[in-house]
Structure 1
Amino acid sequence: MPIFVKIEEGKVDKTTFDQHVPAHKAYVQQLIALGHKPRSGYWAKKGGGMMIFEADSMAEAEAIIAADPLVKNGCVNYQLYEWRIVME
C-alpha cells in the first residue's frame, strides 16, 4: 500500500489548537483500526508536525487528511506527499 506524508504548520494560537487535539488523537486511533498504520507527531521546535500513513491512492489520502479534525477546524496549513521508499 502506498505511503503518504502530511507535513503541517500550525496557524492558530495554542489554546485554539489544543481544543482540537483530543479529536485528532481519536481520529488517528480510527485510522489505526482501519489499517492505515498512521504515525502522528509534532516537531520538537514549536509550530508544526507530521503524519505518515498508508492509503490506496492519493485520492484516498486526500480524503483522510480532509477528515482530520486539525484540518477541518482550520488549525493547520499542510502539504501532502506520496513517499516512495528507496531503501529499507
Structure 2
Amino acid sequence: MPIFVKIEEGKVDKSTFDQYVPAHHTYVRELIARGHKAKSGYWAKRGGGMMIFEAESMEQAQAIVAEDPLIKNGCVDYQLYEWRLVVE
C-alpha cells in the first residue's frame, strides 16, 4: 500500500492545540487498528510535526487527513505527500 506523509505546522496557541491532542491520539490509534500503519509525532523544536501512514490512494489519504482532529479544529496547516521508498 502507498505511504503518505502529512507534514504540519501549528497555527494556534499551545493551550488551544493541547485541547485536541487526546482526540488526535485516539484518531491515530484508530488508523492503526484499521491497518493504515500510522505513526505520528512532533519536531523537537515546537511548532509542527509529521504523520506517516498507508492508504490506497491520494484520495483516500486526503479523506483520512480530513478526519484528523487537529485539522478539523484548525490547529495546523499541512502538506500531504505520497512518499516513495527507494531503500527499505
TM-score range, shorter chain: over 0.9
Q: Could you tell me which amino acid in structure 2 is paired with residue 50 of structure 1? A: M
Instruction: Tell me how large the CA RMSD over aligned residues is.
Output: 0.3
Q: Distance in 2 between matches of 1:15 and 1:45?
A: 17
Q: Which runs of 5+ in 1 are unaligned?
A: none
Aligned length: 88
Is 1:20 aligned to residue 17 of structure 2?
no
> Which residue of structure 1 lines up, in the alignment, with residue 75 of structure 2?
75
Pairwise CA distance, 1:3: 0.1
TM-score (norm 2): 0.99
What are the residue-to-residue correspondences of 1:9-88 with 2, within 5 Å?
9-88=9-88
Cα offsets for 1:35-88 (capped at 9, x unmatched): 000000000001000000000000000000000000000000000000000111
Specify the SS of the correspondent of 2:71: helix
Q: Distance in 2 between matches of 1:50 and 1:85?
A: 17
Q: Which runs of 5+ in 2 are unaligned?
A: none
Q: Distance in 1 between matches of 2:82 and 2:2?
A: 7
- Percent of counterpart pairs with the same letter? 77
Pairwise CA distance, 1:11: 0.1
Q: Distance in 2 between matches of 1:87 and 1:46?
A: 30
